[in-house]
Structure 1
């Protein structure tokens, strides 16, 4: 009876020793005021996501997101492991021998990726016994996006955008398709898609400079980061691209993480709007 009571109390209050193995899981937990005892790639999270990083001050790094250290996780004696189904379904059984595992559906291979943001937040809230807090978080997120739409309606309505992420070492860009979370969020604010593209697996595709020639003349190309990578600037075709020749290339600055949950997406949307108004 004592053991059953202890488990019931844990279920009601949420885990006290949480380990997160994916940055989306880490972001959601931190956004809910929960500090993991361990998470994967802490330095990378601080660099790229940078959401509530003070909550990681006492966290132990448990290795790479794709290949976390089971030994490091076991040493932390977690009572819950929160991570991505896409990334860690293949090792869920091994993780489950350490602690209960909850896999969130944060990276659908097709469909509306913005819907996945809401779904993964609610799944995490249920696993962490924070469902009410998640609903408040999502309501705040929706309210902020609506405020951006209302505040800047005259400046952004119908303006065409293409959001792209540079790839290191090559003159190519990861261009976000209409089904990407950031694309859906920008349409909510009032922007329009600036390139004709079908829905893509995981919300993006990689294109070269010739592909950028298809960006519509009245579109703005937003590159995630700062400055424009040398691989693009030094390419002979770069200055001849219509979007470049017309001065319609802007930089979001850093960090700019388009694959996260509500906080990182809200931050990115604010960055984009701020550079246009």
Structure 2
């Protein structure tokens, strides 16, 4: 690009995370998404023009906005990249985890002339992590699990686990005992895998964070209450099971990382934080 992008259309939650970190706002965003959350743009998001859904972006609406940069996700937006790149420069993201999030932030910062802002945001995150690392004795790290699922997972008896390369897993493995290692050659999205309840019992976490997915209406941890294996877990017996909403996975960016660290770490280490 010959000059920094100013008119940005965003087709992904991670893009919203990045723009919030860089102090920028999109001219167009999805009809439904996270932009109106108070952690991001709140009521200001009502001013963003709708450009369709994540799976079906409205190419005509995007073209009308005359953007000079489009932020998308490799799947599904690689299916549209021929048409998107005829409209404007297009940056397609993929992957999760700490290092990838920093690289993405720097990439978009270069495209928008916000390199200094990006480095400031990265320094804030690194300072936050170091503050926690200093406060927590290394020999007293707790075993933590981030899991999710629905009634379908209850039926299959396999639950979705965030691995050490996931958005939060990549941070928690620096500050806790996080034994959920990304397996080689798996087919699921990077950062996630499925495991049995028996495997969870083997690791016996001190603290468990649970996310309930549709079509479940009752919290997943509540649905597991009478499961004999679940009741054997240390975290269950000590009341250290915490339900978290789907905001947990709303973007693989540094902004959400800082927010979630500030929420989760005091629950893991109340005696130190």
The normalised TM-score by structure 2 is 0.80
Residue number among 195, 209, 214 corresponding to 1:222 in the alignment: 209
2:14 corresponds to which of 18, 21, 24: 24
> Do structure 1's residue 158 and structure 2's residue 177 form an aligned pair?
no
2:257 aligned residue (265, 271, 277) = 265
Aligned length: 258
1:110-141 deviation digits (Å, cap 9, x = unpaired)? xxx32111111111111222122111111111
Q: Determine whether 1:116 maps to 2:100.
A: yes
* Corresponding residue to 2:95 among 107, 117, 121: 107
Provide the C-alpha distance between the structure 1 equivalents of 2:181 and 2:104, rounded to a whole number of angstroms. 28
The structure with higher relative contact order (CA 8 Å, sep 6+) is 2
Runs of at least 5 residues in structure 2 that lack an aligned partner in the other structure: none
The equivalent of 2:27 in structure 1 is 37
Are 2:233 and 1:242 equivalent residues in the alignment?
Answer: yes
Aligned partners of 1:194, 1:228: CA distance in 2, in Å? 24
State the 1:182 CA deviation. Answer: 1.3
Which of 152, 172, 182 pairs up with 1:186?
172
Q: Considering only aligned residues, what root-mean-square deviation do their CA atoms show, in Å?
A: 3.0
Shift of 1:98: 1.7
Task: Structure 1 unaligned segments of length 5 or more: list them.
Answer: 1-6
Tell me, yes or no, if the aligned pair for 2:31 and 2:53 is still in contact at 8 Å: yes
